[in-house]
Structure formats: structure tokens, C-alpha cells
Structure 1
């Protein structure tokens, strides 16, 4: 019984980790594009990374809840 709980916890951590990784990658790309377009990369690159991390964590958590149903 404890192995199933540990396996579920590992899957949850993995899904959140993947979500954060994808979010950072997309946030970096979008932040760079906006930064180049507005000539203010110093603002938009970290903004894209921060928002990408937040949305990635949220989507990673949401995919955990969807897989349980």
C-alpha cells in the first residue's frame, strides 16, 4: 500500500516538473519575442520566465487532477 502512495507522489512530482519545464521554455520564447519587438528585452525576458513558470506549475497540477478522474 505504501508503494502505491510513493508511486503516485512520484508521478505528481514528475507532472509538475514537466509542466514547469515546458512553461519556462515557452515563457522564455514568448518573453524574448515580445522583448525584441518592444526593444525592452530586460523587462520581457524575466517576465516571460516568471509567467511561464507560474502557468507551467498550474498546468502541471491540473494534469494531475485530470489523470485521477
Structure 2
């Protein structure tokens, strides 16, 4: 069996990425929920919040 102790492509401890992936979507969902509850139209604002969050995350990269 081949040992892959120092191979950066091998699964292990180096799989964790410290970049804030998902934070833009989380912010967008939070804003969407807040606006949806405030306007009593959660079904409209939740997907809008997800879309805004995805755009925000793309802009942050």
C-alpha cells in the first residue's frame, strides 16, 4: 500500500478551508426572513434573500 502522509491531495486534516463560504447566503436568508416576517410575505422574501445572498457571496470572492 502506498503511504500518502505528505500528499496534499489526500483526505485528512487539510480538508478544512478557513474561507467564509456560505456567509453571504446566511446573511441573505436572514434578511429575507426579516423582511418576510415584517411584510407578512415570507414565501416571497425568502427566495429573494437567498438570491441576494448568493450574489453577495459571489461579490465577496
- TM-score (ref. length: structure 1): 0.58
Unaligned runs of at least 5 residues, structure 1: 1-13, 61-69
Corresponding position of 2:46: 45
Q: 1:54 and 1:26 mapped to 2: Cα distance?
A: 11
Q: Which has the higher contact order (CA 8 A, sep 6+)?
A: 1
Residue 34 of structure 1 corresponds to 35
**What is the Cα-based RMSD across aligned positions, in Å?**
1.6
Query: Following TM superposition, where does structure 1 have runs of at least 4 consecutive aligned residues deviating by more than 3 angstroms?
Result: none
For structure 2, the residue ranges without an aligned partner over 5 or more in a row are 1-17
| Structure in which a larger fraction of residues adopt helix | 1
